[in-house]
């Protein structure tokens, strides 16, 4: 049995909460520090709801730089790029471009797939052990392609036909009749029957409720800072007061860049702004299967009696405030694609900054500071990868000497 440690997890989003949960289950004592009044209210709040375990290819890929030229001039582009006089952006974009080749994409996709499948197993175990009340379902996911070339490339990447089924447009309509109107515009689709959906915010609340049942857990609402300590260790302060701890796990999303600066660390993170609409609709009219409109980079996921529609990546956005023009574009696309699921005019809007690495592979690792671990940079796959990243941190902790 590994030695019990006192561990401080900085960040109360889905990454920090799953990390705390995995560590509590392993018998450690955990303090979770969150600067907001409530957990799960930043990037975790309104995400797409998809647990896309099988389709986890990074954004950086061959052909993307050329495609990006069209993104810069289209106001309704699924990905927008606003260049700024910001060395962090230019460094991130340079590394992103270096990763835009088929060989690198394939290697990174394999790493993400391994982490995603580990995440699926962990969530299955946690649900068996009683974690519930977050609208989890396993309806499968359909990725619909309008462009024949992109569909052909995706079909060639299918390794396991049992886990990823290549479909004709007619097959796509059969799998999810609510999207039958798309069939004339489709080249085909890939259906992953084992993919899942859930409400990420409710998942965060469920994790917190379970954690609060443990005497070894406490939540502190406050501002954390990191500083150099003794013998190669760092130490953490909350609202200026030193917080004694054996280990620190940094899971604070984009804020992690600033938190590690006093330690001489530079994290390759950049905020990719995403958007979502949440629609209250007649359950009879809602799709059952989770659907991704690949060419428009839009996902549709039924969460109980609501429809979550999430899309877009803004590179170079300064904050998480919803851009009215981008929200209007998303609403218009949803109305065209799934008109019966409205009313879209009353949809709840959300935007959030998703911290991403240039390669798309998160940093789940130890650092040069002997008591500091990182769990950051999950981008748009934060919910999907969160449980797997959490158990990876747990395993790293148990490998460390007291």
* Cβ 355 vs Cβ 375: under 8 Å: no
Q: Is residue 124 part of a domain?
A: yes
- Measured N-to-C along each axis, helices 382-399 and 200-211 cross at an angle, to the nearest 10 degrees, of 30
For 202, the domain range is: 6-140+194-399
Q: Is residue 282 part of a domain?
A: yes
Number of compact structural domains in the chain: 1
Cβ contacts of 384 within 8 Å, gap of 6 or more: 50, 51, 52, 53, 56, 116, 119
Q: Is residue 111 part of a domain?
A: yes
CB atoms within 10 A of CB 143: 24
Residue 294's pLDDT is what?
Answer: 92
Q: Is residue 47 part of a domain?
A: yes
Q: Is residue 353 part of a domain?
A: yes
Is omega for the bond preceding 343 within 30 degrees of 0, making it cis? yes
Local confidence pLDDT in tens for the 402 residues of the chain: 567 999 999 999 999 999 999 999 999 999 999 999 999 999 999 999 999 998 888 989 988 888 777 766 676 788 888 888 999 999 999 999 999 999 999 999 999 999 999 999 999 999 999 999 999 999 999 999 999 999 998 999 898 888 999 999 999 999 999 999 999 999 999 999 999 999 999 999 999 999 999 999 999 999 999 999 999 999 999 999 999 999 999 999 999 999 999 999 999 999 999 999 999 988 888 999 999 999 899 999 999 999 999 998 898 898 999 999 999 999 999 999 998 888 898 999 999 999 999 999 999 999 999 999 999 999 999 999 999 999 999 999 999 977
* C-alpha–C-alpha distance, residues 390 and 30, integer Å: 13
Q: Is residue 311 part of a domain?
A: yes
Residue 71's pLDDT is what?
Answer: 67
Q: Is residue 373 part of a domain?
A: yes
Cβ contacts of 150 within 8 Å, gap of 6 or more: 187, 294, 295
**CATH code, domain with 318:** 3.50.50.60
pTM value? 0.95
Q: Is residue 168 part of a domain?
A: no
* C-alpha–C-alpha distance, residues 260 and 58, integer Å: 25
* Cβ 333 vs Cβ 78: under 8 Å: no
Lookup: tokens for 175: 């799998």
Lookup: tokens for 53: 């375990």
């Amino acid at each position: 049995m590994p030695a019990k440690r006192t561990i401080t997890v900085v960040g109360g989003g889905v990454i920090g909460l799953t990390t705390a949960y995995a560590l509590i289950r392993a018998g450690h004592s955990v303090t979770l520090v969150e600067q907001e009044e409530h957990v799960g209210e930043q990037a975790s709040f309104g995400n797409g709801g998809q647990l896309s375990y099988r389709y986890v290819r990074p954004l950086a890929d061959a052909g993307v730089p050329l495609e990006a030229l069209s993104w810069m001039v289209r106001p309704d582009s699924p990905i927008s790029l606003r260049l700024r006089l910001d060395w962090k952006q230019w460094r991130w974009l340079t590394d992103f471009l270096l990763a835009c080749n088929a060989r690198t994409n394939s290697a990174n996709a394999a790493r993400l797939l391994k982490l995603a499948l580990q995440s699926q197993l962990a969530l299955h175990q946690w649900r068996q052990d009683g974690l519930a009340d977050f609208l989890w379902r396993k309806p499968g996911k359909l990725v619909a392609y309008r462009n024949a070339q992109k569909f052909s490339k995706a079909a060639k990447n299918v390794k396991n036909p049992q886990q990823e089924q290549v479909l004709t447009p007619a097959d796509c309509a059969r799998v999810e009749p609510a999207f039958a109107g798309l069939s004339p515009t489709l080249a085909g689709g890939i259906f992953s029957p084992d993919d899942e959906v859930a409400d990420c915010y409710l998942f965060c609340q469920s994790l917190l409720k379970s954690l609060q049942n443990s005497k070894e857990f406490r939540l502190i609402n406050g501002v954390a800072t990191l500083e150099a300590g003794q013998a190669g260790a760092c130490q953490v302060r909350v609202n200026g007061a030193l917080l004694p701890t054996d280990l620190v796990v940094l899971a604070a999303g984009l804020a992690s860049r600033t938190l590690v600066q006093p330690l001489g660390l530079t994290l390759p993170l950049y905020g990719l702004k995403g958007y979502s609409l949440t629609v209250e609709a007649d359950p009879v009219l809602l799709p059952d299967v989770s659907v991704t409109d690949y060419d428009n980079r839009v996902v549709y996921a039924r969460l109980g009696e609501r429809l979550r529609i999430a899309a877009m990546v803004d590179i170079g956005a300064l904050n998480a405030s919803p851009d009215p023009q981008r929200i209007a574009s998303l609403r218009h696309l949803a109305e065209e694609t799934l008109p019966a699921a409205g009313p879209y005019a009353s949809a709840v809007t959300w935007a959030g900054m998703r911290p991403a690495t240039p390669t798309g592979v998160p940093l789940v690792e130890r650092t040069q500071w002997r008591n500091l671990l990182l769990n950051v940079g999950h981008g748009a796959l934060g919910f999907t990868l969160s449980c797997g990243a959490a158990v990876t941190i747990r395993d790293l902790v148990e490998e460390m000497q007291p």
